[in-house]
A and B are shown apart, each in its own frame.
Chain A
Amino acid sequence: MSQFLSRLRSVKPVYYYAGLMALILLLPLAIDDYLTSVAVVAGLYIMLGLSLNVVVGYAGLFHIGHAAFYGIGCYTAAILNLRFDIPMFALMPIGALVAGLIGLALSRPILSLRGDYLCIATIAFGEIFRMTVRNDIFRLTGGPNGIGGFDRPKLFGFVFNQPTHFYYLVLAFVLLTIFIVIRLEHSRLGRAWMYVREDELAAEAMGIDTTRVKVIAFVFGAAWAGLAGVLFASRYLIAAPESFTLMESVIMFCIVVLGGVGSIPGVVVGTMGMVLIPEAFRAAWNWRDGLIGLAMALMMILRPAGLLPSRQAKLEIQEAEAPPLAAGATAGGD
């Protein structure tokens, strides 16, 4: 047995990833349409989780308004497609742009707020968005039932209208998201987020424009959620306020925090927990909110860094919980 395990361990990680990729690519052949749709939902939440991870996990900003940007992307696609017949694929960058710009406009006033107050401001923004679209603003967004009836995405004549099509479309975007997020993490910008997160004053004193760096994280998160929103619109063909509630933002936040702050596998695990398990146990659906609350409380006590945190997050949580004694205990005195 131990021989077998040690042989397992000596297999290069590349082969595991290749095997995993093969499984993921072939999955729709093995499962029915319903499960494929669930996988599409999971894919969208992974995109949302990874983009929120940049804001919360990398830059360290307390953000519970992510669903609003998801909704902005969705409604932008819905309105522009219905009114101007702009095709869905073209609306993907447009939806991201609109969400990003609104994120930029919002960031300037609120990013100077401290932790908890920033959180309240993001919650407020989310609610403002939801109420605004619910009230059929400018007669554009429909009422509580939202708007519908827009087109499927079309690429070179091929129409995406089966769950399997969306599975591969969303998968492509998930892979793109992972690529971008990894590149961001290991860069000058990713380091700057790290410094701001660790000690904002020291980072500022070392010459880092902390405001600008936080804005970039926030705007990227908003734009990427907007992109996911366009995908949502193209899949469900409906844009309605109740899809973008505060609870949705909370779920996205939980995906990041419970799954593992700052880590990509963590977000994937968090999404599985938040989306797939409730799907698999439909009977427990009514208890979902309560169970999420319970899970959060337990996690904060037992594993505050989440299930699969990045190594960095683990180190920082240790730091926060047991502040070091004056390190001058060594190096002898006079």
Chain B
Amino acid sequence: MALLDVRGMTKRFGGLVAVLNLDFDVNKGEILSMIGPNGAGKTTVFNMITGIYKPTTGTIQFNGHKLVGLRPHRVTELGIGRTFQTIRLFPALTSSQNVMAGLHCRTRAGFFGAIFRPPSQRKEEAHINSETEKLLRLMGLYDYRDELARNLPYGFQRRLEIARALATQPRLLTLDEPAAGLNEEESLELMQTIRQIRDSGITIFLIEHDMRVVMGISDRIVVLDNGQKIAEGTAAEIQGNPHVIEAYLGKETE
């Protein structure tokens, strides 16, 4: 059952065609990876799904909603959470404050709630605090809850970004190169974490270069090269595909 359905997606930046006629879907409950050389258009695809760019042509259906033309915050409200290729945490804010940002779209108190603090607002604040604690503990960051995001070690920052994305209560979690810069041990931890997230009922769509991670956790893989899909299938199918090997995987391991 397709949770996310992309048809005929094309993106032109002036004369440059970043993505051409892309069709793929993400099934509910699976882990789908998108791989390909740098510049293949993978992050552009992410940005179009999450509303940061508008596709030149094509449609994007998510859980029965049309995503094209929606603003990014609306896409997040509908249930797509994301992390960024280069970490985009709020650097001068604490881990807790970063995670709370994700909870904004799932809570409601506004201007008058802030001033008068009715019981509903107080309950909501208590809920925000307990949810934040839960997510920090889940990602092993509770001890760093009052630490500024910019002071965290790199691997922890990656985890914090995931915690923040989870706070938006997504149905689909899109991770952009979550293993970038992680060492072997951290990558294994990441794989474990991603599996846990999937087991909790969230569908995962990730961009990744680390083939250990990709081959280790993906149910299916989509391969992009020069903005076009050149292959799609299971890990075994992709690894044996001559086009993919030529364009990207090469003959030896990374």
Contact = CB atoms under 8 A, between A and B. Distances in A.
Residues of B contacting A: mostly: helix
Contacts of B117: 183
A173 B111 CA distance: 19
Given A191-B104, A330-B154, A204 B111 contact: no
B155 to A, nearest CB: 5
Interface stretch (B28-36, B69-77, B195-203): B69-77
Q: Which of A312, A316, A324, A328 has the most CB of B within 10 A?
A: A328
Contacts of B124: 188
A331 B101 CA distance: 26
Interface in A176-198: 180, 183-184, 187-192, 194-195, 198
B104 A207 contact: yes
Nearest to A198: B90
Given A188-B124, A190-B114, A328 B181 contact: yes
Contacts of A195: 90, 93, 101, 104
Contacts of A157: none
Interface of B: 50, 52, 71-73, 76-77, 82, 84, 87-93, 97, 100-102, 104-107, 109-111, 113-115, 117, 121, 124-125, 128, 148, 150, 152-155, 157, 164-165, 167-168, 181-184, 186
A256 interface: no
Interface stretch (A85-93, A208-216, A291-299): A208-216
Given A188-B109, A192-B104, A331-B181, A209 B114 contact: no
A220 interface: yes
Nearest to B210: A334
A201 interface: yes
Interface in A267-285: none
Contacts of B121: 187
A205 B52 contact: yes
B90 A202 contact: yes
A206 B103 CA distance: 8
Contact of A327 (B72, B77, B125, B157): B157
